[in-house]
Structures are given as structure tokens and as C-alpha cells.
Structure 1
């Protein structure tokens, strides 16, 4: 009854079904691992955002990579802004998706332990992207900044391509090593501070603060994982339904009676022959009468 499974069509269909099952299971675990990573990130961010600020020098140093566990830690630093080495970071958006710049200003620490980059916030892009934009002036004098510690941005981590040949004092990434190489003197601490507060509070217009990261949403990865596993379970079920349907259709065709033979065509031929004979006889009689 199931010899049709050995046909080329059914062999190909079965092989495809067998291959789909592990692929879908693997895709489900891939989404599940992304869900776990998102949950872990949310827990890390929530814990670090809620911790008391510590001096930035405790968590960072010249050329030091910021470990993942220290990202989004609240830190503080006291010093003066070095506005001469201020840069803007291109192609950054605000909460509404509007294009603009991040304003990054080096802060020279008062204790002489080095310089740390500070992302002071976001400003909208003007009409001319080839010149340095109109940036709100950094507060003068000694001050204390508080914010979140962030790791240096890289192309591999952010997906942002680091373009060359940009206008003066414009960059694509916030990266302490690049800033040090571009002329920022002294020891430059790794990573940067994403500013949240300044004491004393600066007067006048300042860049728009960067929003805190969302650490409440877990995304849709878990739902996608469950969907892939449901698909994997549905493949053998769907294959079996198709097999049963094919077997039933073949059985019905085999049990159907063959068409019955009929003598109607032969009878019709005999009748046609008799009519032709009668017509010939009538024509002969008419011809004899005419003679």
C-alpha cells in the first residue's frame, strides 16, 4: 500500500521534511539564546543604573577596555572641559528618529589622572553637513559630571562603518583610542561617560540628553523560538497527513469499477447498413419504372 513512498516525488518530499526538522529546531534555540541574552542585558542594565555612582577612575584607565559587567555603571568625574578638542559624532538620532550629532567633549580630570570623553548629548543636524555645526558651548570652569560608563564604540560591535575623509572634528564612532591618536594629549581613559547631570548646573542651552536604555522589554525572541519549534513538530504531522491522503486516493482509484463495454455502436452500424440497402432498392425500382 505504501510502495508509492519509493517514487522520486515522495523520496524528495521525505528528505526535505527530514532536513527541515533539525533546521527549525536549531533556529528555535537561536532565538531562545537571543531571548536569554536580552534578559541578562536587562538585568545588568537595571542593576547598574540603580547603583550609586563611583569615580570613573575606579572603573577605567588609559587604554583600558570597559568590561561588559561595568557598562551602564553610574560614574562621576571632576575637572574642566577641553572644548578645543570637542568633536561631533555623525548620523545619530534622537528618540523621534531625527538625524543629528552627538557632542563629545573631553573632560580633563582635576586630579591629573587623565582625560575622559563625555557624550554631552544630541543636537539636530543643520543644512550644511560639511562644516562643524553650531554646538552649545561646554560649561567653563571646574565641574562634576555624572553619567553612565560606556565602552568604546567599534565597527564590529556597533555595525557603524568608520568612514574616512570626514570634515574637521567630525567622527563616526565614540572611541577614546581614535581621539588620542587625533591629537588629544595626555592619558585618555578607555570608554566614555554618557552625561546625565552636571554640578553646578550649567546655564544656557545645552545638548539634548541621551535617553536611558530600555531595560523592561524582552522583545519577541521567545515567541519566535516557540513558533520555530511548533513548525518543527508540524512537519512530521503534515508529512503523515499527506501520506494517508495519497494512500486513500490510490485505494479509491483501485477499487473503482472499470467502464462497462456496450454493443450500441455495432447495433447502430447494422441499422445504418439496413437503411442503405432500402435506399438502394427504392432507387432501383424507380429506375425500372422509368424504363
Structure 2
């Protein structure tokens, strides 16, 4: 190999290493910036939880995105009557390490025609009879439910389209409103408080994915360091050791 060819080869390797180091370092920095954004989002969510409760009339009128956004993650207490015939059990929803269902029941608000879908809690699955519904009490007459407002029902991974029925995998508000004919508000109340009606409410905190971004940043910075170390060893340290021995 001529000296000029060897020199071009070293230059190309140095260029590739430099590009790789710069790219992986910038990707690591980007993941850290995404983590900072998620931390700020988490702080904003916690601040919203400390705001005064949302009036029921404002919840009932949440029919457009610009009306829904200010309500998210805030507390509300809704009074009305359950519509138990439209109760839905979402399958494959674990809680405290146990398999079971999320139970949703529409609540017709008092003094209004509006209906809000309430994520009432979690009930265990019957493993001897998988299509059996858990014993959930649904009181008749006026009831009150307190919880946090969300813009959708928490979704789980699903293969294909979800079929209608009491037990299903996921539920979309617009589709459920069309299916039942109920004038659903575009918000969901995730009920909080102690266990009642045969339901647990040990909800996990809202996940913002901060740890995921830190993990990705660690991987990118690790790859950056690996490229740098390999370049230094093969292109600097090893040739130097060879020349010093000769």
C-alpha cells in the first residue's frame, strides 16, 4: 500500500469516526432535551391536579378540543345517575400484579342531557370462566363520582378492530357514542378514592416517559464513547505502539 493510499484511508476513517461521534453525541443531547420537556410536562400535570375542581357544567359542555384541553388532569365531582346497561369491561388490564378488567359506566349528569363516561375502577377476572363478568355493584338513583379528567380511555395493544360487547379490548369515545346513541362529552372521568362497589382504584401515575429518554441518551452516549475509543485504539494507540517497537 502506497503512502498516499494509506493517508487517504486514514483520512476517510477519521472522517467516518468524526461523523459517527458527532451524530451519536447530538442524538444523546436530543434525548436529554426530550427528557427535560417531559419533566416540564410532568410538573405542569401536577400543577393542574392542584387547581380547583372543574364545575360539572363545564365538563358537560366539553365537546370540542379547545374546550377539552383546559380540563385535562384536573379534578371534578360529577353527580347524576349510572346507565348500567351500557357498562363495558375492558379486558387485559392488570392492577397490583393481578389480571382483570377496567370497568366503565356512562353517567347521565343531573339537570342535563349530557353523559360522561366514567372509568370507575378495576375488577379481577374469573379464570375458571373467562367470559364471566365480575360482580360490580351499580347503585341506582343519584350518585356522585370524583376523579381526574382525561380525553380518552387508556388503550391496550390490540390486534385488529375491537368488537362490540360487554367485554372488549379498547373503547373510543366517538365510536361508543355512535354505538349507544348517548350524547357523550369528549372527556372521561377516571374515578379516584378508596375501593367501593367491588372496584379497586390504585391507578398508576401518568407516565411521561422520562426514564425512557434517559435510557436512550445513555445508549447514544455509550455508542459515541465506543466509536471514540475504537478510533483512538486502532488509529492512534496501536500504530504508535508498533512504531515504538520497531
| TM-score, length of structure 1 as denominator length | 0.69
1:193 corresponds to which residue? Answer: 189
Equivalenced residue count is 243
The 1:164–1:230 alpha-carbon spacing in structure 2 relative to 1, beyond 3 Å, is closer
1:120 corresponds to which residue? Answer: 120
Answering whether residue 138 of structure 2 is matched by residue 141 of structure 1, we say: no
Greater relative contact order structure (CA < 8 Å, 6+ sep): 2
Answering whether residue 98 of structure 2 is matched by residue 106 of structure 1, we say: no
Structure 2: runs of 5+ lacking an equivalent? none
Aligned counterpart for 1:175 among listed residues 154, 172, 177: 172
| TM-score, length of structure 2 as denominator length | 0.80
- Following TM superposition, by how much is the alpha carbon of 1:120 offset from its aligned partner in structure 2, in angstroms? 0.7
2:29 corresponds to which residue? Answer: 29
Question: Given that residues 53 and 146 in structure 1 are in contact (C-alpha distance below 8 angstroms), is that contact kept between their aligned partners in structure 2?
Answer: no
**5 Å matches for 1:1-291?**
5-6=6-7, 8=9, 10=10, 13-59=13-59, 61=61, 63-65=63-65, 67-94=68-95, 96-127=96-127, 128-129=129-130, 131-153=131-153, 158=155, 160-161=157-158, 163-164=160-161, 166=163, 168-185=165-182, 187-197=183-193, 205-211=197-203, 213=205, 219=211, 221-222=213-214, 225=217, 228-229=220-221, 232=224, 235-236=227-228, 238-252=230-244, 255=246
Larger Rg: 1
Give the stretch that moved more between structures: 208-217 or 24-33.
208-217
Q: RMSD of the TM alignment (CA)?
A: 3.5
Structure 1: runs of 5+ lacking an equivalent? 256-291
Question: Given that residues 28 and 221 in structure 2 are in contact (C-alpha distance below 8 angstroms), is that contact kept between their aligned partners in structure 1?
Answer: yes
The 1:52–1:133 alpha-carbon spacing in structure 2 relative to 1, beyond 3 Å, is same
